[in-house]
A and B are shown apart, each in its own frame.
Chain A
């Protein structure tokens, strides 16, 4: 849970964008959409885990 987490997600975003453009240019629109979806799912899982971790710390600290 530190700063390079953000840059990792940004890197994934940029890679997926480039991959998307390459796939679209080469005529494979379906694969492009699938890669975007896959990248999104991976990133979402990471963020959901960190949000859950934040909620747990808040629960412990504030006694909720």
Chain B
């Protein structure tokens, strides 16, 4: 993973943000958001390969792969929600950041409801 490239890019952007903060604060926020977008795309390009190999492995092995699908969806939601929440915190809007995180948590909860139901059914099956 081109970790050093990403870290140096982040450091340079932080310096640029400070320079622009005194003249135009809105531009420093925009540059911060843009840098996190670029870093996230770089990370996604790296993550693509392992995730697809895991998916292939699970499909071949015949295990019911909707557990892995739900986990992947939750990962995606968490990924984007934390990006937006941190950008809002960067802009000084901590209330908005908490709302974004609340929305992300509710989305993940809704995602996991069918999963927990199926686990509950199997557990009840043992009890009876």
Residues of A with Cβ closer than 8 Å to B? 1-3, 5-7, 9-10, 12-14, 16-17, 36, 40, 43-44, 46-47, 50-51, 53-55, 57-59, 61-64
Consensus secondary structure, chain A interface: helix
Given contacts A3-B38, A6-B16, contact A13 B73 (CB under 8 A): no
**30 contacts across the A-B interface (CB closer than 8 A):** A1-B41, A2-B38, A3-B9, A5-B38, A10-B16, A10-B20, A13-B28, A13-B30, A14-B20, A16-B24, A17-B20, A17-B24, A40-B26, A40-B27, A47-B37, A53-B41, A54-B37, A54-B44, A57-B41, A61-B44, A61-B47, A62-B72, A62-B73, A62-B75, A62-B77, A62-B79, A63-B69, A63-B72, A63-B73, A64-B73
Closest approach, in angstroms, between the C-beta of B85 and any C-beta of chain A?
14
Q: A6-B13, A54-B41 are in contact. Are A44 and B24 (CB under 8 A)?
A: no
Q: How far is the CA of A16 from the CA of B28 in the complex (A)?
A: 13
B4 on interface, CB distance cutoff 8 Å: no
Cβ of A49 to closest chain B Cβ, rounded Å: 10
B67 at the interface (CB under 8 A from A): no
User: Quick one: closest A residue to B70, CB to CB?
Assistant: A63
Interface of B is mostly: helix
Q: How far apart are the CA atoms of A53 and B53 in the complex, in Å?
A: 24
| Count of A-B residue pairs with CB < 8 Å | 90
CB contacts (< 8 Å) of A13 on chain B: these are 20, 23-24, 27-28, 30-31
